[in-house]
Structures are given as structure tokens and as C-alpha cells.
Amino acid sequence: MTQVEDPAPQSQSQSLAELARRYGLRPAIARPRFPVYLRQLWQRRHFVLTYATSRNVSKYSGSALGQLWQVLTPLLNAAIYYVMFGLILGGSKNIHNYPAFLLTGMFVFTYTQRTVTAGAKSISGNLSLIRALHFPRASLPLAYTIQELQQLVISMGVLLVIVLLTHEPLTLFWLMIPIVLVLQTMFNIGAGLVLARLGASLRDLNQLLPFIMRTWLYASGVFFAIHDKVVNSAGLPEWVATVMYLNPAASYIEWMRDILIAGHTPPQLVWMSCVVWAVVALAAGFWYFWRAEDRYGRG
């Protein structure tokens, strides 16, 4: 005998769907429209800021020196990189004020590196929170970016003191530092949102990220002058150096060096690159992350 399926469950689900459409009901976890989503994020700005600040405070709460590590960490990193790349490997040759050159590159790159790495773990590392509470999931990558920005403010204070100690003049160009940091933060938010969505579905991404970040570090001119190393030393075509300057990490590093170090003059294209990367990454990152809003925390 052929078994005939009971049509009742199917007709019941259809009637429920029609009833929901008639009264404008939507699933509780449905993805909101993009303008509504941005408005919800703005309404939760205090939560994002408080979450980021509390993570920063708790990060060093178990150590004897506490929040002093926020100053000691960039100082120790500065000393290690200067000894390794400036003295032992001789990277300071033909570079004016190599300590300021190196530290500017390290602090600016580290901001992007730490933000992107944290963003990749922001969804997969907070599944219990996501499953327990209803809020725009983009709040988590944003909070991680603000956390790293708070750390950067302290690092930049250390950097500016070091730059002055290396006899660089205090000029009106220093007023442009917040502009560079705002543009870099926009890029970091966008990149963090993209990595957050990828990290939520690709379990192996966090294992690959250290290798990707290390490659990005060496390709961004943190330890060497791009044009001198690529064109003058390696004899490669000029367009190779241009491509390396267009790398977003290199662009923000070069612009910051142009502000802080007298005599350091990068190509003008790095300023345009910074603006383009900031706008494109922020817009594309929010859109890409929002498209999967109703899938985070499942499975």
C-alpha cells in the first residue's frame, strides 16, 4: 500500500504564514533593514563603549602592575624592535631618525593587526552572549575596535614623547594626527566586520591569521623604506613600490610618518589611498556583515 502524507501540517503552516503576513508579523531573529540596523547600533552605543572599556580594565586586572602595562607594553615592544631591526640587522642605514621611523610603523600597524585579529574572534568567541541576548551583532566587532583604539591612544602618547626626544620638531602638521587615526579606525572597523563574519563560519581562519598578519607586516614597510628597498636595493620596477604603498597598512603608516618625521616624504597617492580604503572598507564591511545577521550564533 502507498502511504499518503497527511496534508494537515502543511496547510496549517501555510495558514500561519498567511496570518503573520496579514498582521505584519516577522520572525524575532529576522535581519532588519539596513537603515534600521544602523539605528539600532547607534541606540546601543553606550553598551559598546562600556563593553570595550570593561574588557580593557579586566585585561590587566590580574597582574601586579595593573593598568601600568598599557604604557609598559608599547615601550618594551619599542625597545625590542629597535635592538633587533635597528642595531642587529642594520635596518637603520639610509633612513633618517630610524627610532621614530620604526616605532611609528610598529604602533600604527599593531593597531590594525590587533583590531582585525580580535574582530575575527568576536562572534565565534561570544556565542553564549549572542544566543542569550538580542542585539545587533555588529556591536561586538565595534567594541573590540574601540578597545584597541583606547590602547592606541596610550601608545600614541608614548610615541609622541619618543619622537620629541629624537629631536623632531613639534609642527602644525601634528594636528592632522586625529584625521589619520579616524580614517584608520574606519578601515579597521570595516576589516574587523568582514573578518568577524568569516571567522563565524570558517573555523580554521583563526589558525591562519597569524601567518597572514606576519606576511602583511613584512609587506607594509614597517622595518624598511619601501622605495629604497624595492627600487634602489632590489632593482624592481617602480610599479612594485607603488602597489606596496597602496597597501592600506602601508598607506596609514606612511602618512603618519610624513606628519611626525621631518624630511620623510611619501608619494601623494598614500593620502588618497587612506581615504579610499577607509570609505570602501567601512561601507562594504557593514553591508557584508549585516547580510548574515540572522545566521550568527546558529549551529
List, for residues 201-237, the tens digit of each pLDDT value: 888 888 899 999 999 998 999 888 898 888 887 788 9
Is the model's pLDDT at 10 over the cut of 70?
A: no
Q: What pLDDT shows up at residue 1?
A: 47
Q: What is the pLDDT of residues 18-75, one digit of tens each?
A: 766 676 665 656 788 999 999 999 999 999 999 998 888 887 776 666 667 777 777 7
Number of separate domains in the chain: 1
Q: Average the pLDDT over 228-249 and give the result.
A: 89
47 inside domain: yes
Residue 45 has a pLDDT of: 93
Residue 91 has pLDDT above 60, yes or no: yes
In a domain, 14, yes or no: no
Cα→Cα distances 214→109, 110, 117, 144, Å: 11, 11, 12, 21
- Averaged pLDDT, 175-188: 96
Classify residue 152: in a domain, yes or no. Answer: yes
Residue 40 domain-assigned? Answer: yes
Class of residue 169 by CB neighbours under 10 A (exposed 0-12, middle 13-18, buried 19+): exposed
Q: What is the pLDDT of residue 213?
A: 93
pLDDT (0 to 100) of residue 271:
93
77: domain range? 30-295
3-state DSSP of 166-230: CCCCCCHHHHHHHHHHHHHHHHHHHHHHHHHHHHHHCCCHHHHHHHHHHHHHHCCCCCCCHHHHH
**1 within some domain:** no
Which of 139-143, 173-177, 286-290, 295-299 bottoms out in mean pLDDT, i.e. has the lowest? 295-299
- Note whether residue 93 is domain-resident: yes
pTM: 0.87
Q: Is 4 domain-assigned?
A: no
Mean pLDDT, all residues of the chain: 86
The percent of residues in the chain predicted with pLDDT above 90, rounded, is: 51
**Would 2 be classed as within a structural domain?**
no
